[in-house]
């Protein structure tokens, strides 16, 4: 352990892994924020803490079974000349779940307010946590496998995971409130999640899409939407003064 603390390579791996875990955890935080906002106000913080806490536990458990995870990339069977491994099956199921959940959220967002309100009342803390747990497993699985390629030191990976989850926990409340206040930003976030679900399904069939392009498109869309929100904020006072 002392060697890791004094090794520049270990610190560099720690920094790179922390940044990577934070970036890969953005979609997880967005999903948690959208689902949690269907709960009463008093239960939202509790659901966020439980959801991100479970994400931390899953990642640490998966890192403890590093050798087993490496073996899950071995094809178990073949479908249309494509070898399907345990990792592929998890990514495929998780991608379908994310697309189905996102489609339902989009549908509820564009329906009338009464229908959306009734759906929100039927959401329970346990139901939200179960949904978060399912996505946590998928995102944790993909995140840990990506981390393996950057470092082979389990303590370094665990430290990076803890730091990234703390950062996400600090900002998750602000992200959740921001999405709740801006319906158009919520729709943009749902579009991101739909894209992430599609990418998980594509990745399960070994169709590699460079994530850098995807995150750049997401960041660009976010900046454009922030400008739109700012413009709308300026136009409302102007319209009020003219009346």
- Alpha-carbon distance of 126 to 65, in angstroms, equals 28
Find where tokens 């709308």 sit. Answer: 232
Based on the domain organization, do 109 and 181 belong to the same domain? Answer: yes
Based on the domain organization, do 146 and 217 belong to the same domain? Answer: no
Average pLDDT over residues 49-66: 78
Q: In angstroms, what CA-CA distances link 95 with 62, 75, 135, 146, 194? A: 19, 19, 9, 17, 9
Specify if 1 maps to a domain.
no
Q: What is the tally of structural domains in the chain?
A: 2
DSSP-assigned beta bridge partners for residue 79: 82
Average pLDDT over residues 102-127: 67
Average pLDDT over residues 157-184: 83
Specify if 2 maps to a domain.
no
Based on the domain organization, do 171 and 102 belong to the same domain? Answer: yes
Based on the domain organization, do 229 and 192 belong to the same domain? Answer: no
For CA atoms 95, 185, 54, 123, give the dihedral sign: negative
| Alpha helices (H) along the chain | 2-5, 8-24, 26-36, 41-64, 66-71, 86-110, 113-122, 125-148, 154-181, 183-204, 211-242
Specify if 203 maps to a domain.
yes
pLDDT at 192 over 50: yes
- Residue with more model confidence, 107 or 114: 107
Based on the domain organization, do 90 and 200 belong to the same domain? Answer: yes
Alpha carbons within 13 angstroms on the beta-carbon side of residue 194 total 13
Based on the domain organization, do 87 and 154 belong to the same domain? Answer: yes
Specify if 137 maps to a domain.
yes
- Alpha-carbon distance of 156 to 189, in angstroms, equals 31
Based on the domain organization, do 129 and 230 belong to the same domain? Answer: no
- Alpha-carbon distance of 30 to 36, in angstroms, equals 10
Give the residue numbers spanning the domain of 184. Answer: 8-209
Based on the domain organization, do 205 and 221 belong to the same domain? Answer: no
Specify if 94 maps to a domain.
yes
**What's the whole-model pTM score?**
0.71
Residue 70: predicted pLDDT: 58
Q: N- to C-terminal Cα distance for the chain?
A: 69
- Alpha-carbon distance of 88 to 90, in angstroms, equals 5
Specify if 3 maps to a domain.
no
pLDDT at 236 over 70: no
- Alpha-carbon distance of 169 to 25, in angstroms, equals 11
Specify if 109 maps to a domain.
yes
pLDDT at 1 over 60: no
């Amino acid at each position: 352990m002392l060697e890791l603390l004094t090794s520049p390579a270990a610190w560099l791996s720690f920094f790179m892994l922390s940044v990577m875990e934070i970036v890969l955890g953005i979609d997880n935080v967005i999903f948690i924020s959208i689902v949690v906002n269907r709960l009463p106000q008093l239960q939202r913080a509790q659901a966020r803490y439980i959801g991100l806490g479970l994400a931390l536990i899953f990642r640490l458990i998966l890192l403890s079974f590093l050798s087993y995870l490496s073996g899950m990339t071995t094809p178990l069977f073949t479908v249309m000349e494509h070898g399907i491994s345990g990792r592929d099956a998890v990514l495929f199921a998780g991608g379908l779940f994310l697309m189905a959940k996102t489609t339902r959220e989009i549908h509820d967002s564009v329906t009338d307010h009464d229908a959306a309100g009734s759906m929100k009342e039927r959401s329970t803390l346990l139901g939200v946590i179960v949904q978060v747990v399912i996505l946590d497993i998928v995102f944790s699985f993909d995140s840990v496998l990506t981390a393996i390629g950057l470092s082979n030191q389990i303590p370094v990976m665990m430290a990076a995971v803890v730091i990234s989850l703390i950062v996400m926990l600090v900002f998750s409340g602000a992200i959740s409130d921001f999405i709740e206040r801006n319906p158009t930003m919520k729709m943009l976030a749902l579009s991101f999640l739909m894209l992430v679900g599609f990418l998980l399904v594509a990745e399960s069939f070994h169709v590699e899409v460079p994530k850098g392009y995807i995150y750049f498109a997401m960041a660009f869309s976010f900046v454009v939407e922030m400008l739109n929100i700012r413009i709308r904020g300026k136009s409302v006072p102007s319209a009020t003064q003219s009346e």
